[in-house]
Amino acid sequence: MVLLVLYIQVLKKVFLKISSLLALSVLVAITASHTGATQAQTRLTNLTLNQIGELELIRGWKAISDDNFSWIDTNFDFSGWEEVSTLLDEQHVDALDWNGYGWFKVQIEVDSTLIGQQLKLSLKTHNGASQIYLNEKLLIQEGSFSRQKEDHVASSKTPYVVFEFDTAGVHFLSVRYSNHEAANYLKYGLKPGFLLSISRYDVNEITELAGNHYWVTVSLIGVLIAITLVHFLFLIFYPAGEKNLYFVITVSSVAVFSVIWNAGSFSTSPDFILSLQKGLYLSWLIAHIGLLKFGYSFHKNTTPKQLIIFLLLGILLIAGKLFTEYEFPILYSGFSTLVLIEFLRSLIKVQMGKKEQVSIPLWGTILFFAWVLISLVSMNDLITEKFYLIQHLFPSVFFMISLSTYLVRDFAKAQIRLEYKYLEVKHLSERSVEQERRSKAKEIEQKFLERENERKTAELEEARALQVSMLPTEIPETEFWEITAFMEPSQEVGGDYYDFSLSKSGELTIALGDATGHGMKAGIMVATAKSYFHSLVNENGNIDLIRKMSSGIKNMNVRMMYMGMTLLRCRERSIEFTSAGMPPALLYSKQNNSISEVLLKAMPLGSSIDFPYKSLDVELETGDVFVLFSDGLMELFNRKREQLGMDRIKQRLSEISSQSSESILKELIALRDHWKGKVNQEDDVTIVILKAK
């Protein structure tokens, strides 16, 4: 099934690639390579750049392997030169009889719509030294051109230059280029030439793309190096770990391969990159053999004969590459495919034999191979990209992480088994002594528990008394509201609190809070909140009051202690609602016969002094009901460990909303009692109800 899905995905990729190539061919047929009587030329128009964005200057180039600076002249006839690709593949190197340097020229016909527009001439690929001229003006100089090999300095930098065409018509690009190591480049599958492109200039896009590519490459290689170091340390402290040894060999080889493969991101010297190519092939082979040995290590004390066959085949491939001029990419890709299949076979054999659970590396390998196949543009890349299996950084890192995850998990399981065995042996050896010790320990523990229980009981009683004493002794009466309130502490005593403040002007402020934690700490938090509330309520609006209370609580420096708080400032039938870390309030509208939640999400008091708290104005009509409650009500458990929840509260409120506020409170208390039954209440429950008269 997996293979079928992969096959379909690859067919999609092939279809899309063929479609895009056909479209590009039509476009090029319209815009490029009109051959005049003497010389080939490329047509550059506004339409071309709008349709394809960036025009790679692939066609129309003619070259000669010689050097004469007079050839820069725009009137020079170069029609007799050899038509080539500037990348200088093996065919064109032979056709030019390349002796290390030469001139390349192309004729460009520029449309009048591009006059005065800022364009970008970019070096997409560059593995030598060059001087690039537009007509007779030097635009780019990279490396140090020389006819002599010892004076030639190559560069792999890919700079760009911003320029403008001041006239329409025919223009000439001339490139004076040298590369004295073309044969070696071709030997290792590298292009010894260059590639130019023309596009519109966008400074933001250029900077962002270059930076992103570099940092993504560095980060992924960094992950491979980090994995190598971690498992190398495992190997140092536990040398007997056979799987870990072969994984270190594999992942370190993949890391070395990735560094060399992406050396262009770190070095601007093509000659230096060229010198690393032997290491590229060696690390490729070691990574494959290490992976096989890692797979075989799941089978205790066995090294199959096929490992020797793979090793010999790999050595032959590398030797053929390093010591001859012949190379067949399909042999490399085929070797990689066979290695991965053999690795999968080894894992499947272990999984089927139930010797060990290897589902993590098994599925990691399957997903890795799927990812690699999908990354390929077409099935042709599977044949031509000889290093296809580990040249893609993202899937390679994913694959190494999946294998590393298995090893870490296996190490952890081994540690757990050792600890269990140790405890088992220790238990058996000390059983006789333990019996006597246990009885004595139980006696001491019992006395300790009794004293601890007495202390906690006393503390809880003090906390409960403190909490109750913090509550107002009477509920204020106003001409606009029926108000009722209820609070019942849990067995452990939480930090619920409600309070009222009625100003001389008749403005009523209601506070409902819930401190984190239980016991005396919660009681202290409530006392602090009450003190701040009554000291500041008549001098500050809701938001300022919330902020000052939060600042005061934070300054207490009590670790992990916060307080949720809801403030209602009632002016006639208008309510200013402010909340900090509390559950939503419920608003029943008599006119619409509906219940809605009123919620402002915010941090609790004591967490952040500068948090942008907000207020919400709510207008009520006669018969409307506004209900505040702490989270202890909606999170109340029944004997099945089910929570009461907001929906049940809203449903019950809709049934009793026509009653008085006192009756509504009694019904909600009855709902609480019915729901919890004989189950202990685990948190304080506080309810405040306002009904508009």
636 & 495 share domain: yes
Segment 254-283 shows an average pLDDT of: 77
Integer angstrom CA distances of residue 668 from 101, 276, 486, 678, 692:
93, 78, 10, 17, 18
Q: Are residues 486 and 621 in the same domain?
A: yes
Element (H, E) at 619: strand 615-619
- By CB atoms closer than 10 A (0-12, 13-18, 19+), residue 81 is buried
Question: pLDDT confidence of 25, banded at 50, 70, 90?
Answer: very low
Q: Which of 52-56, 182-186, 245-249, 262-266 has the lowest mean pLDDT?
A: 262-266
- Top pLDDT among 521 and 404 is at 404
Among 400, 421, 442, the domain boundary falls at 421
Residue 235 belongs to a domain: yes
Query: Can you give the pLDDT at residue 383?
Result: 52
Each residue's pLDDT tens digit, 489-516: 886 666 889 999 998 888 999 999 999 8
CATH number for 507? 3.60.40.10
32 has a pLDDT exceeding 50? no
pLDDT for res 375 = 63
Q: What is the pLDDT confidence band of residue 3, given thresholds at 50, 70 and 90?
A: very low
Q: pLDDT band at residue 536, thresholds of 50, 70 and 90? A: very high
- Res. 191: pLDDT tops 80: yes
Mark whether 579 and 595 lie in a shared domain.
yes
The predicted model scores a pTM of: 0.41
Report the pLDDT averaged over residues 208-218.
66
Domain tally, the chain:
4
Per the model's pLDDT, the better-predicted residue between 351 and 596 turns out to be 596
Query: In the prediction, which pLDDT does 357 show?
Result: 76
Local structure of residue 176 (DSSP, 8 states): E
In which domain, by residue range, is 80 found? 32-201
Instruction: Give the residue among 203, 198, 205, 207 at the shortest CA–CA distance from 114.
Output: 198
The reported pLDDT for the residue numbered 392 is: 74
The pLDDT score that the predictor gives to residue 440 is: 80
Final residue in a domain of this structure, among 201, 220, 240: 201
Q: What is the mean pLDDT of residues 261-265?
A: 72
Residue showing tokens 């001041």 = 166
pLDDT band at 382 (very low <50, low <70, confident <90, very high): low
Residue that terminates a domain, selected from 201, 220, 242: 201
Task: Identify the CATH number of the domain in which residue 246 sits.
Answer: 1.20.1070
More confident position, 554 or 279: 554
Could you report the per-residue pLDDT of 310-363, keeping only the tens digit for each? 889 888 888 877 776 666 677 887 888 888 888 888 888 888 877 677 888 888
Give residue 326's pLDDT: 62
Average pLDDT, the chain: 83
Do 149 and 39 fall within a single domain? yes
Residue 273 and residue 152 in one domain: no
Q: With 70 as the cut, is the pLDDT of residue 264 above it? A: no
Given a cut of 50, whether residue 300 has pLDDT beyond it is yes
Greatest mean pLDDT among 306-320, 508-522, 563-577 lies in 563-577
| Assigned domain for 21 exists | yes
Q: Is residue 289 part of a domain?
A: yes
One-letter identity of residue 512: L
Specify the DSSP class assigned to residue 600: -
| Segment 91-106, tens digit of pLDDT | 889 889 999 999 999 9
- CA atoms 448, 451, 457, 458: torsion sign: negative
What local confidence, expressed as pLDDT, does residue 620 receive? Answer: 94
Token representation of residue 659:
């009653």
* CA pair distance 653, 651, nearest whole angstrom: 5
Residues 678 and 575 both lie in one domain = yes
